Amino acid sequence: MTQNATLERPQTGQGASLELTHALTQTVYREARMLDDENYADWVDMLADDLLYHMPGIETRYRRDKTDQITDLTRMAYYNDNLTEIKKRLSRLETGTAWSEDPATRYTHIITNVEVELTEKSGEYRVYSNFYAYRNRNEREEDSLIGNRVDIWREAESAFQLVTRRIILKHNVLLSKNLNIFL
């Protein structure tokens, strides 16, 4: 279906150059800043037209259980969105009646452990990272979402664009009443 680079690690994940690694690291930091600032217009500009933004729901299973809970896109997922669907979600904030977003939630995304690899496709790069997303809301509501991401970023004319992201949240039960956040 897709000609894009895949998220799964190939036999050898060849590390990218220092320059490329720096550029993509700065890109994911910049993206995190867009999300912290609720600057969704600029965030959406960083997303490719053929985006797949996927955060599977993962049950606790025994090690011997080989059910594919990660790459099977037909299973339950917090996010399994293309660009149009991401924009639909975001359009809720434009309505003026998204009551639970006013007063605003306060966000901080901390992005660490960034690794950049070349892929089988030139101009597309695999980027691993960890995230710590902290939310605080109203008087004393707070929660922390921690996990890993693996992305494919594509070199476009003047910037990099996110093509594919898989988010693995470490919660079994989401310890929060909602997920009004992108990770």
Partner 1 sequence: MRIEGIGREPEFSRYMDLKEGWLDRRIFSDAEIYEEELYRIFARSWLFVAHESQLPKAGDFLTTHMGEDAVIVARQPDGSIKVFLNSCPHRGNKVCFADAGNTRRFVCNYHGWAFDTAGELKGMHEEYCYDDNDIDRRKNGLKQVARVAGYKGLVFATFAEDGPSLDAWLGDFRWYLDMLLDNEEGGTELIGGCIKSVMNANWKFGVENFIGDAYHAGWTHDSGCRSMNNGQPFPPIDMENSYHASVNGHGWEFGTEGVGDLFLLGRPKVLEYYERIRPKMAQRLGEMRSKIFGSVASASIFPNVSFLPGISTFRQWQPKGPMEFELKTWVIVNKSMPDDIKNEITKGVMQTFGPGGTFEMDDGENWSNCTTVNRGVVTRHERLHYRCGISREIEHDTLPGIVYRGQYNDANQRGFYQRWLDMMEADKLEAMPDRPESRLSGVGETRNLPGLFAL
- Least gap, CB of 17 to partner 1 (angstroms): 36
User: Residue-wise over 118-152: b if at least 16 C-beta within 10 A, else e?
Assistant: bbeeeebbbbbbebebbbebeeeeebebebebbbb
- Least gap, CB of 121 to partner 1 (angstroms): 26
Q: 114, 162 in Cβ contact below 8 A?
A: no
Q: State which of residues 21, 25, 130, 180 lies at the interface with partner 1 (CB under 8 A).
A: 180
- Least gap, CB of 83 to partner 1 (angstroms): 13
Q: Identify residues 43-82 at the interface with partner 1 (CB under 8 A).
A: 56-62, 65, 67, 69, 72-81
Nearest CA among 78, 88, 94, 105 for reference residue 165: 78
- Least gap, CB of 42 to partner 1 (angstroms): 20
Largest CA distance in the chain: 49
Q: Which stretches of the chain bind partner 1, using CB under 8 A?
A: 56-62, 65, 67, 69, 72-81, 85, 88-93, 95-101, 172-181
